[in-house]
Structure 1
Amino acid sequence: MAGFIRHVVSNYNEVLNNIKDPIVDTWPLMGSPGPILCIVGTYLIFVLKVGPKMMEKRPAFQLNTVMILYNAVQVFFSIWLASMTLNISIKHFFSPYGDSSQLPHAETKHTQTVLSTAWWYFFSKIVEFLDTVFFILRKKQNQVTFLHVYHHSITAFFSWCYLKYIPGEQGLVIGFLNSTVHIIMYSYYFIAALGSKYKKYLWWKKYMTWIQLLQFGIMLIYLILTLVVDCRAPKGLTYLLATNAIIFIYLFSDFYRKAYKSKMV
């Protein structure tokens, strides 16, 4: 037990003492954990209590145009994020400098691009809170599951932690995978928002869960590999991210079993 506590404390100190780019602290929402905790807290209060109570005796909002525009923007934003992470990864792979983390952060354009892309990825997780808000306003309360709320809140918080404490190329793989999945996911929602006459094009709904599971499986393998090869990134948050990937695999597998497997019996 004492050894486990020492291991936890060691990883905690490793995260806090990691060399970070001070410019990140000057960016919106990044100075302290206060703003992101308030945002996540407000989100949870609204989706779990205030929102359902507010809509209890009101008719559902018709947000067809809003949903079409929102999902279209999310598709293009996800394409941009995926292309940015892929482009950065390719440039880093073929860079004559090797590991850019060996250079002073403030003096490398590459590092600044990595950090700014990571901030936009983090910001996108906050924007995605609107998914749940729209569910509630449209009285789709059955969509506001534990999996949905947990996924949105923990992803936003972990994205903040990663950018704040261990920014670098290690997060590019996760960002690329997640953004690619979101291109597919928001494309589905965009088509669904167009109306019932397009429903025939949505036969692939259940395969989105397969894609999500594949995403988390690859993420888990990648995170384990970063621990095995002993990357310089602090291991504390990597342990948490790997644990969270396992939780997601379980939750999405359970969702798939209940939503599709049970209907086949």
Structure 2
Amino acid sequence: MANIVREIKEIGSHAVDIYDFLLAGMDKRVTQYPLMHNPFPMSAILIGYLFFVLYLGPSIMAKRKAFQLKEAMIAYNLMLVALSVFIVYEFLMSGWATTYTWRCDPVDTSDSPEALRMVRVAWLFWFSKIIELMDTVFFVLRKKHGQITFLHIFHHSFMPWTWWWGICLAPGGMGSFHAMVNSTVHIIMYFYYGLSAAGPRFQKFLWWKKYMTAIQLTQFVLISLHATQYYFMDSCNYQFPTILTLIWIYGTFFFFLFSNFWFQAYVKGKRLPKQDVKSCQNGTAVYTNDKHLENNNSATNGSARHENGSAHTGKMKKA
């Protein structure tokens, strides 16, 4: 027992040493931004998020009707489209379209306007991940429990936590490539969600839902390939190769998770309602998360009216 206690103390001591080492290596230019002094506020937000979406939210909504939230969702999604456009522009102007080579690009640790601009957009990208936690909150309030998958929750909680450490240590350089690509994808993704939330009249513009996952998969391929090139360079002065390794692992891991989603949803058809599976097999599917529920409601109402009409006709015949 004494040996076990001693080992636990040693592990705890090593963990504290690693934590102190990481904090000592933090980029001082980042600490002036909100939630960046230490990881505890950020961790508390993510723990609260998990508690709400996994337990508190479903418990509150169990005996309540689902909220519609149409106007709020349209505004939210369009706001994220605008924010993502701004983030991509700032990444480009901070180096990717000006001084970066798109190969070996170290972090600029100076206080030049361009370097400080990169620090700012790196933080803004991280903060956008905190805002995007509302995705799941909307699912809970609208009782879309089928959308709250392991992939969704893991992506929304793991990404902000890891990126916090990323911008604390390396705000910029070749490690920021995946942030710029991710923001580009989010322009398309949240534009789709905004149209979807607008209602049935926009259904004809949503034929490309299936390709959203393909766009996500392309994103992870680009991220992994960009990180991989570091290991084939004769020399590269990027200061944080460990971060590139983590980015490569991240891109590859999520590629397989999203590939499984693609296979389950569009090959096996498990995530589509029956009528949409048949349409998809015929190559004519138009499916959205919001629209399919409306279609089902309309079909139910239509069937009820048809049954009522048939019953009424039968009574007339008997009369």
TM range (shorter): 0.7 to 0.9
Between 1 and 2, higher relative CO (CA 8 Å, sep ≥ 6) is seen in 1
Paired letter, 1:238: L
Alpha-carbon distance in structure 1 between the residues aligned to 2:144 and 2:114: 43
Q: Which residue of 1 aligns with 2:224?
A: 220
Structure 2, unaligned stretches of length 5 or more?
1-14, 270-279, 282-319
Change (3 A) 1:157 1:176: same
Deviates most, 173-182 or 21-30: 21-30
Select which of 259, 266, 269 maps to 1:253: 259
Alpha-carbon distance in structure 2 between the residues aligned to 1:227 and 1:30: 31
Paired letter, 2:216: Q
Q: Summarize deviations over 1:162-191 as a string: whole Å, max 9, x none.
A: 111122222332122111100100010011
Please tell me whether residue 210 in structure 1 is matched to residue 214 in structure 2: yes
Please tell me whether residue 46 in structure 1 is matched to residue 52 in structure 2: yes
Equivalent position SS for 2:37: coil
Count of residue pairs brought into register by the alignment: 249
- Name the TM-score, length of structure 2 as normaliser: 0.73
Deviation of 1:197 after TM superposition, in Å, equals 1.5
Q: Summarize deviations over 1:95-150 as a string: whole Å, max 9, x none.
A: xxx97856x52x31111000000000000000000000000000001000000001
Please tell me whether residue 92 in structure 1 is matched to residue 113 in structure 2: no
Paired letter, 1:131: D
Change (3 A) 1:139 1:18: same
Change (3 A) 1:231 1:48: farther
Q: How does 1:147-226 map to 2 (within 5 A)?
A: 147-226=151-230
Deviation of 1:93 after TM superposition, in Å, equals 3.4
Q: Which residue of 1 aligns with 2:6?
A: none
Please tell me whether residue 120 in structure 1 is matched to residue 132 in structure 2: no
Structure 1, unaligned stretches of length 5 or more?
1-8
Alpha-carbon distance in structure 1 between the residues aligned to 2:134 and 2:223: 25
Q: Which residue of 2 aligns with 1:234?
A: 240
Q: Summarize deviations over 1:28-54 as a string: whole Å, max 9, x none.
A: 111111111111111111111111111
- Name the TM-score, length of structure 1 as normaliser: 0.87
Change (3 A) 1:111 1:162: same
8 Å Cα contact 2:27/2:170 also seen in 1: no
- When Rg is computed on C-alpha atoms for both structures, the one with the higher figure is 2
8 Å Cα contact 1:181/1:211 also seen in 2: yes
Equivalent position SS for 1:26: coil
Deviates most, 156-165 or 17-26: 17-26
Q: Which residue of 1 aligns with 2:148?
A: 144
Q: Which residue of 2 aligns with 1:69?
A: 75
Deviation of 1:84 after TM superposition, in Å, equals 1.2
Alpha-carbon distance in structure 2 between the residues aligned to 1:84 and 1:35: 26
* RMSD (Å), alpha carbons: 2.3
Alpha-carbon distance in structure 1 between the residues aligned to 2:121 and 2:84: 12
Deviation of 1:154 after TM superposition, in Å, equals 1.0
Q: Which residue of 2 aligns with 1:22?
A: 28
Paired letter, 2:226: Y
Change (3 A) 1:168 1:45: same
Could you list the runs of 4 or more consecutive aligned residues of structure 1 that deviate by over 6 angstroms after TM superposition? none
Equivalent position SS for 1:29: coil
Equivalent position SS for 1:34: helix
Paired letter, 2:56: V
Change (3 A) 1:125 1:183: same
Deviation of 1:62 after TM superposition, in Å, equals 1.4
Deviation of 1:227 after TM superposition, in Å, equals 3.9
Change (3 A) 1:250 1:51: same
